[in-house]
Amino acid sequence: MSLLPDNDRVLLGPGPSLTAPRVMRAMASPTVSHLDPIMMALLDDVRGRLGRVFRAAEGSFAFAVSGTGTSGMETTVANLVKDGTRATVIVSGYFGDRLAQMCERYGATVTRLDVEWGRACDPAALRTLLKATPADVVAMVHAETSTGVVNPVKELAAIAREHGALTIVDAVTSLGGMPLDIGAWGIDAAYSCTQKCLGGPAGLAPVVFGPRALAQRVKCRSFYFDLTLLEDYWLRRKYHHTMSSTLVYALYEALSIVEEEGLDARWARHEQNHLALLASMAGIGLTVLPREGERLWTLNAIRVPEGIDEAAVRKHLLDTFNMEIGAGLGPLAGKIWRVGLMGASSSPRLILLLRGALESAFAVQGKALG
């Protein structure tokens, strides 16, 4: 008996999101080698598309690392942080903490700007900290997946630049779903993933290094994530590793879909569906954790009502509706559900299905909300 799934999960968790059918079909194309001329042409095309979706500045290097979003995180850190680097890391949730840990592993002296989970970082707090404790690098998460909070990266990056620091931005849950302009906002390096707002499978991590980051790269301890060696592969056709042609096909098709929809229209769709979800959840008495103005459109942290067994709700949704939503992490474990409306999962149809599934799960527990 095969262990492979025979029907589609309704993926409404923090990631992965639903993979677009066109992307699935693209992955069925014949496999080619990592140095095949077809592969080289695809890499050139993908570089251009990634530069556009990041809205990168002229002279930037946009590409994809073989691995998940964490590999993108490590690539940016490994090439910009060395022993003695003064790194200020904004920690407003689980992934900000991971970014701080990564900087420490690469030898940085890390100063944390800790922010209450569920709140965005106040730019004034960063300005005050940098005046007192200078930094070479300021690292931050744009869309904090653990809390549903969007940080004011545009303002934070401007403050970092005022103080002479390079900026590293985690755009894992924002690229393709939230306004992000690497070039105009003066961000030096950013990373994301393919399985969330871009609507592809996991396995590649889009990364961009701007001109300042390229000029100030450090000697990389990692062979696999060495920016110079990756440039050799992507630009100069030198062997580095056996990159999956199938995943490149998927990214190529996913980026094609993004460009056909248009970034502005895609952002508007994510915002519209986020607002529709809030209205739908309010209709059954549910609220979200972040304050208005600090809420992600792509990841919604829905508060668990008093008296509800949150794990039992998730199990009911999975068993009865073949639907996945996420649990809370860290101090938010048991307190929120994380509902992702990203890429192909950002759909009015799925919002209606989620509401009905939640009402069913509450009824099983003898609770009628609304």
pLDDT digit string (tens) for 283-306?
999 999 999 999 999 999 999 999
pTM over 0.85? The answer is yes
Whether residue 17 is predicted with pLDDT greater than 80 in this model: the reply is yes
pLDDT more than 70, % of the chain:
100
Average pLDDT, the chain: 97
Please indicate, yes or no, if residue 369 is contained in any of the structural domains. no
- What average pLDDT does the segment 141-150 reach? 98
Give the Cα separation of 175 and 64 in Å (integer): 13
Whether residue 318 is predicted with pLDDT greater than 90 in this model: the reply is yes
Whether residue 38 is predicted with pLDDT greater than 90 in this model: the reply is yes
Q: Which amino acid is at 265?
A: A
- What average pLDDT does the segment 53-60 reach? 98
- What average pLDDT does the segment 157-179 reach? 98
Please indicate, yes or no, if residue 247 is contained in any of the structural domains. yes
Give the Cα separation of 271 and 343 in Å (integer): 12
- The verdict on 270 and 249 lying in the same domain is no
Please indicate, yes or no, if residue 71 is contained in any of the structural domains. yes
pLDDT of res. 108 = 98
As beta bridge partners, residue 143 has: 150
Whether residue 207 is predicted with pLDDT greater than 70 in this model: the reply is yes
Domain boundary among 260, 278, 303: 260
Which tokens is 260 given? Answer: 């056909």
Backbone φ and ψ for 88, nearest 5 degrees, come out as: -100, 125
Domain boundary among 224, 239, 260: 260
Give every CB contact of residue 203 below 8 A, 6+ residues apart in sequence. 66, 67, 68, 194, 195, 244, 247, 250
Nearest to 285 by CA among 306, 313, 271: 306
Give the Cα separation of 230 and 209 in Å (integer): 12
pLDDT of res. 370 = 65
Give the Cα separation of 97 and 93 in Å (integer): 6
- The verdict on 321 and 240 lying in the same domain is no
Give the Cα separation of 311 and 200 in Å (integer): 28
Backbone φ and ψ for 209, nearest 5 degrees, come out as: -115, 125
Domains held by the chain: number? 2
CA dihedral 354, 359, 365, 369 (to 10 degrees): 120
Whether residue 263 is predicted with pLDDT greater than 80 in this model: the reply is yes
Give the Cα separation of 230 and 191 in Å (integer): 15
Please indicate, yes or no, if residue 50 is contained in any of the structural domains. yes
Domain boundary among 208, 242, 260: 260
pLDDT of res. 273 = 98
pLDDT of res. 70 = 98
Please report how the helices 69-80 and 94-105 are oriented relative to each other, as an axis angle in degrees rounded to 10.
40
Computed on alpha carbons and rounded to an integer, the radius of gyration of the chain in Å comes to 21
pLDDT of res. 368 = 75
pLDDT of res. 1 = 84
pLDDT of res. 367 = 84
- The verdict on 339 and 214 lying in the same domain is no
Which range marks the domain in which residue 324 is found? 10-16+262-364
pLDDT more than 90, % of the chain:
98
Whether residue 343 is predicted with pLDDT greater than 80 in this model: the reply is yes
Please indicate, yes or no, if residue 95 is contained in any of the structural domains. yes
Whether residue 157 is predicted with pLDDT greater than 70 in this model: the reply is yes
Please indicate, yes or no, if residue 5 is contained in any of the structural domains. no
